Chains A and B, each alone.
Chain A
Amino acid sequence: MNVDIITVILGFAQSLILIALSPLITGIMRKVKARTQKRIGASVFQPYYDIVKLMRKDDVVSDQASWLFRFAPWVNFAAIATSALLIPVFIIYSPFELVGDLLLIIGLFGLARFFTILGGLDTASAFGGLGSSREMMLSALIEPALFLTIFTLSLNFGATNITTLINSASNLHVLITPSVLFALISMFVIVIAEAGRLPFDNPATHLELTMVHEAMILEYSGKRLALIEWSQSIKNLILLTLMINIFAPWGIAKSVSIETVGIGFAVFLVKASVTAMLIAFIETRVAKWRLFRIPDLITIAIASSMIGIVFFYI
């Protein structure tokens, strides 16, 4: 697509919209969970209020913590927000499209996770160690699944550069091929895992039996906690966007004009909400799995993408 100043501005805008919209998606997920559990639940805008409230509170920092503890949420947030800048959301363009690479996004998420885990260890509490050790195990196992999925995707669509991927995905005339189907299954499992949703991890829990992510951030408060919560929402939305745009990219704007962008944005909102509702619905149907059964689920993702690779050649 031909690039002019409006496109560039739109490119930045879409990433900012993504960052701004993410708490809403989290709110939608919570609302759906509440409704299916016969509760009324908080408003869908509650996460926004939460974040602002947290930002205005004082911090309490453990006397054992060092500069790493204070610094980690910023690295976390910067890494995830930077990945948000690299993804085409509702127009197939990102101002940084030459830098936007799926492997880079994995690397940035890894960077965020590294610092969060270290932050959990810094406070000398057993909770932090608990969360960190579980998170270490989960992330170590998710990596191969993720890489194999990307392998399948790059086989099918011929790129790891995100813009090129989405571009070629949207140009395909075939609705779905088996290889892509297996990659979708694998990707769906991974998205749930990375976003820390049931059955991997319960984002609303306060029992150490079921905590993974929550345990690591237990000691954070105030602005830092706001940043961490926000970055978790952004990460969720990034993963959802990636999944939507790669596997179901119809409606995304290929050229810049009022209608195409408008349609693109509306379609994106609908798709994101529907997927979020689907994930939330699944969350209410399953319980949190026992920690050592989770590798079983991850191997399902790995096996799925392995078969996807094989099917590519059939």
Chain B
Amino acid sequence: MEIFQIDILPISSAVLLIATFGVIVRRGFMDWLSAYRYQAIALSGITAIIAFVTGAWELYIAAALTILIKAIIIPIVLLRVTGGLSFVSRYELNPYISVRLSTIISALLVALSYFLTQQIPFKSDQILRAYLPVSISLLLIGLFVMVNRRVALNQVVGLLILENGLFLFATTLTRGVSIIIEIGIFIDILVGVIISASLMSRISHTFDNLNVDNLEQLKDE
């Protein structure tokens, strides 16, 4: 039998990207929420790997926090708060760019992020090489998703992906030095999600849909 090896680092970044794509191709709120859990698990897995490679024990805590907050608490909160919403405000019926075109555009964004990070000399730094392009692509994809969705609730997913990308970016570059800041960010996100979700359920009860287009009526004309 030959000896097989697996390069853990590139494979884990690939898995993260796969999980991300699993989130963005879904139009329904319930669908992407369940896919988001997997992305959170993948992210914490990567954090643990970085912790293992660099030996920074704080990152294990960060990994555990990631699973706790992102994979468990946030989904539960969102589900609770948005329990009463109608179907229309949960399902993306008419995005600006159709789902298939946005998939291709997301792939192009991944290519773009690779292009952007090419200038940086990696030398033999494996962690950077494996995770930097992925984090930037998560950033861009998150932004793009936020731009593309009309239903406000679905824009939250863009925000969450964006935040994941930022988290990965920070972790890759700083290797766990600023753990306090990370914890702060976690709490921020948690609170932000709770507030936006409850606001949205209020809006939806009042206006019966969550279409962001309606905000246009606020224009001063």
Contact = CB atoms under 8 A, between A and B. Distances in A.
A85 interface: no
A296 B10 contact: no
B13 interface: yes
Interface stretch (B66-74, B101-109, B196-204): B101-109
A110 to B, nearest CB: 23
B100 A296 contact: yes
A182 B2 CA distance: 24
Contact of A299 (B6, B104, B114, B130): B104
A72 to B, nearest CB: 32
B18 interface: yes
A93 B174 CA distance: 52
Contacts of A300: 21, 25, 103
Nearest to A185: B18
A310 B110 contact: yes
Contacts of A314: 10, 114, 129-130, 133
A296 B24 CA distance: 12
A182 B110 CA distance: 13
A173 B5 CA distance: 7
A306 B11 contact: no
Contacts of A299: 100-101, 103-104
B5 to A, nearest CB: 6
Contacts of A182: 14, 18
A175 B103 contact: no
A302 B94 CA distance: 22
B111 interface: yes
Contact of B10 (A177, A185, A298): A177
Secondary structure class of chain B's binding surface, majority of residues: helix
Q: A182, A295, A302, A310: which has the most chain B beta carbons within 10 Å?
A: A310
A299 B7 CA distance: 28
Nearest to B4: A175
A174 interface: yes
Nearest to B100: A299
B29 to A, nearest CB: 18
A302 B18 CA distance: 13
A178 B108 CA distance: 17
A227 B62 CA distance: 60
Give the contact-size bracket for chain A.
20 to 34
Interface in B69-127: 99-101, 103-104, 106-108, 110-111, 114
A181 interface: yes
A295 B100 contact: yes
Nearest to B115: A310
B50 interface: no
A307 B17 contact: yes
B218 interface: no
Contacts of A302: 103-104, 107
A124 B86 CA distance: 47
B3 A173 contact: yes
Interface string A178-222: 100110010000000000000000000000000000000000000
A87 B106 CA distance: 35
Contact of A174 (B6, B13, B107): B6
A310 B114 contact: yes
Most buried by B among A177, A300, A313: A300
B11 A178 contact: yes
Contacts of B6: 174-176
B34 to A, nearest CB: 15
B106 A311 contact: no
Interface of B: 2-7, 10-11, 13-14, 17-18, 21, 25, 99-101, 103-104, 106-108, 110-111, 114, 129-130, 133
24 contacts: A173-B2, A174-B6, A174-B7, A175-B6, A177-B7, A178-B10, A178-B13, A181-B18, A185-B18, A295-B100, A298-B100, A299-B103, A299-B104, A300-B25, A303-B21, A303-B104, A303-B106, A306-B104, A306-B107, A306-B108, A306-B110, A307-B111, A311-B14, A314-B10
Given A175-B5, A178-B11, A185-B18, 6 more contacts: A178-B10, A296-B103, A299-B103, A300-B25, A303-B107, A306-B107
